[in-house]
Amino acid sequence: GNWQAELAEWVGLWTGVHAGLAALADAASGLQVDRQRMRANIDALQGRVYTEACTVRLAAVIGRPRAQALLEQLSSRVAAEGRPLQALLLEAVAGDSQLAAALAPADLAPLFDPAVAAQPAMARATPWLAALAREFPR
């Protein structure tokens, strides 16, 4: 019998959902993608945006705790020294016999490619966007 009391809340819930979607649609309609500016923002981070991908890749070789500790150290050095994470990571891998035996520099290069980093999100978003386009054609 308690479910009848919940019905009174549905109006407010759906009103809130509608308002949120309307605001999102309004914001998205004026959205303009500036690829050059986006890339400049990524580059300004000197590779730190890729630390999670690097951690996952190194964790396969040295375990997650050690990989996390290494990437934290390298990220601090990026900030302190102003050197890109990719260069520091290559040096760290070359200086560690276990990592050097398992990873070549070519294995690490894709970790710093924004197109590669975006692939999982694109793979998840593309089917949803296609379904929405079919459901709500313009």
Task: Read off the DSSP letter of residue 30.
Answer: T
Cβ pair 99, 58 in contact under 8 A: yes
Tens digit of each residue's pLDDT (9 = 90 or more) over 43-95: 999 999 999 999 999 999 999 999 999 999 999 999 999 999 999 999 999 99
CA–CA gap between residue 137 and residue 27 (Å, rounded): 19
pTM exceeds 0.85 for this model: no
Tens digit of each residue's pLDDT (9 = 90 or more) over 32-50: 999 999 999 999 999 999 9
For residue 47, how far is the Cα from the chain centroid? 12
